[in-house]
Amino acid sequence: MGKKNKLKKFADLLSYPNVYENYDPKFPKLLISADTEADMIGNWRTSCYKNSNPLILELACGRGEYTEALAQAYPDQNFLGVDVKGARIWMGASHCLEKGLTNAAFLRTRIEQISLFFGTNEVDGIWITFPDPFLRESKENKRLTSARFLDQYKKIIKPGAILHLKTDDPTLYHFTLDTLLQYQGAHIIYKNDDIYAHDLDYDELKYKTHYEKEHLADGRKIKYIRFTIN
């Protein structure tokens, strides 16, 4: 991607009403546009979506295909895609604006800081879709299902909130299962190391991201874990 094109997309994000970015180094506020601030912590439903519907996060959302698809399929829920890559978020945010999806929005930030943006019990569910598996053992704590990240999620989710991991990577899949077995309060509801081998057990698994389509074309099996961390 050319530098000018990327800069244009970053400028677009500042004008998009469905995109939120870091504003203050201490993170008490988020930048909505170049001249507008909002104190969002604990107020996402009312400030962003103008309703009281459940709030679902998609972490490592990339181009936002899953956020977009879920928002279309479940209009009575609110979806927030989270990623640090602005050029990728631009694609999902643009599509959602074109389709008039008022229940879809995006947050550009590092997921390591996710608990700083939400109040206690504010999040009703989390999707983790094809994140970087960080295959080197020295990078295990960067995996989005490591205990370090589970501790962050636990601060913001409601009791009983369902978390989902969808991945093509066997290392991340087995690492997550092992982590959950050792994590206090974790409960594995469902696991499947090849979801397309038979009819899907959950309808929301049918949506495919750009990366998932590439993985399937390469003959890779798609894996899924559904769990809670009360």
Which residues belong to the active site? 132
The DSSP bridge partners found for residue 128 are 59, 165
Count Cβ atoms within 10 A of the Cβ of residue 227 and give its class: 0-12 exposed, 13-18 middle, 19 or more buried.
buried
CB 23 within 8 A of CB 91: no
Q: Where are the alpha helices (DSSP H) in the chain?
A: 3-15, 44, 65-73, 86-99, 147-156, 170-182, 210-217
Tokens describing residue 139: 């990078």
Per the listing, tokens 């899907």 go with 200
Whole-angstrom CA distances from 37 to 27, 44, 52, 82, 101 are 12, 13, 21, 19, 22
